[in-house]
A = this chain, B = another copy of it.
Amino acid sequence: MKKTTIIQREKTELKNPILIEGLPGLGIVGRIAIEYLIKGLKAKKLAELYSPHFAYYVLVTEEGSARLLCSKFYYWKDADEKNDLILLTGDSQPQTIEGQYEVAGSILDFAKKKKVNLIITIGGYRKEVKGVPEILASSTNPELLDKALEAGAKTIPVGNPIVGTAGLILGLAKFKEVNVICLLAETPGYMPDPKAAKSVLTVLIKMLNLNVSLAGLDREISKSKQIEEKIIKIEEQRKISELTRRKIEEDKVSYIS
């Protein structure tokens, strides 16, 4: 494999499909959100994206085999025949600049082939959060942006960066003539953040009129709170041990000399 490759796993006709992308990044927000949608909508596998720009390891699977890092496209057919969905998430972001451009370009090319007219990219936005994380939006299309604002999002301050695949798809969109909106959830970013994912899904569901309950995310939110509290305690313990250790060694030296 010399370059990014997308392998289609199922042939199916999609109606006015919208592509929603969420690769892992800050707070793993995008991936948590997309995986929740895939489960909730019972979406089916459509295609896989492989790239020599992902990290060079494989992951052991449930069957005892192992698979390359990849991104996966799922599809969901809208019973109302308005907009089918393509949902994209994966194991990692590309590891080099050139890889980031290549993968984002491949996703856009695939979207065009599938006649996608709207892409929604999801990610995190680093911020210490008190209460409910807010959603920040940026779009190639002012009407789309308005729709997101009506659904509860805010605009991103001018000049701020959007890093990685969620940003590059937005930036490369104008060369491919496709509408893109990027939704970022505020997150401290250093831990998986289901609370941020819930915020972004709330806006998304309003925008697309989806029928998905977010109750399942509340369990993960309470779990992640407990983990965070444990980590803080462990870190405090670690610091004290480290300082104690150093002091003991210094005493030892005083003794030696």
**Cβ of A222 under 8 Å from chain B:** no
Q: Answer whether A101 and B60 are a contact pair too, CB < 8 Å, given A182-B66, A253-B240, A253-B243.
A: no
Closest beta carbon of chain B to A124's beta carbon, Å: 13
Q: Are A66 and B243 in contact (CB under 8 A)?
A: no
**Cβ of A47 under 8 Å from chain B:** no
Q: Are B54 and A97 in contact (CB under 8 A)?
A: yes
**Cβ of A2 under 8 Å from chain B:** yes
User: Chain A: residues with CB nearer than 8 A to chain B?
Assistant: 1-2, 52-68, 95-102, 105, 137-142, 145, 155-164, 167-168, 170-172, 174-175, 182, 239-240, 243-244, 246-250, 252-254, 256-257
Contact of A58 among B53, B98, B162 (CB under 8 A): B162
Q: Residues of B contacting A250 with CB < 8 Å?
A: 243, 247
Known: A57-B163, A58-B170, A67-B174. 19 other contacts (CB 8 A): A1-B101, A1-B172, A2-B105, A52-B102, A55-B97, A56-B101, A56-B163, A57-B162, A58-B171, A59-B162, A60-B158, A63-B142, A64-B145, A68-B168, A96-B97, A97-B99, A244-B256, A247-B254, A247-B257
Contact of A60 among B63, B95, B138, B252 (CB under 8 A): B138
Find the B residue at minimum CB distance from A67: B171
Per the bound structure, the CA–CA distance linking A217 and B174 in Å amounts to 35
Q: Answer whether A60 and B257 are a contact pair too, CB < 8 Å, given A1-B175, A66-B170.
A: no
Q: Are A1 and B64 in contact (CB under 8 A)?
A: no
Q: Answer whether A59 and B137 are a contact pair too, CB < 8 Å, given A102-B2, A244-B253, A257-B247.
A: no
Per the bound structure, the CA–CA distance linking A249 and B253 in Å amounts to 13
Find the B residue at minimum CB distance from A157: B60
Q: Residues of B contacting A157 with CB < 8 Å?
A: 60
Q: Residues of B contacting A163 with CB < 8 Å?
A: 56-57
Q: Residues of B contacting A96 with CB < 8 Å?
A: 97
Per the bound structure, the CA–CA distance linking A162 and B171 in Å amounts to 32
Find the B residue at minimum CB distance from A93: B56
Per the bound structure, the CA–CA distance linking A158 and B60 in Å amounts to 5
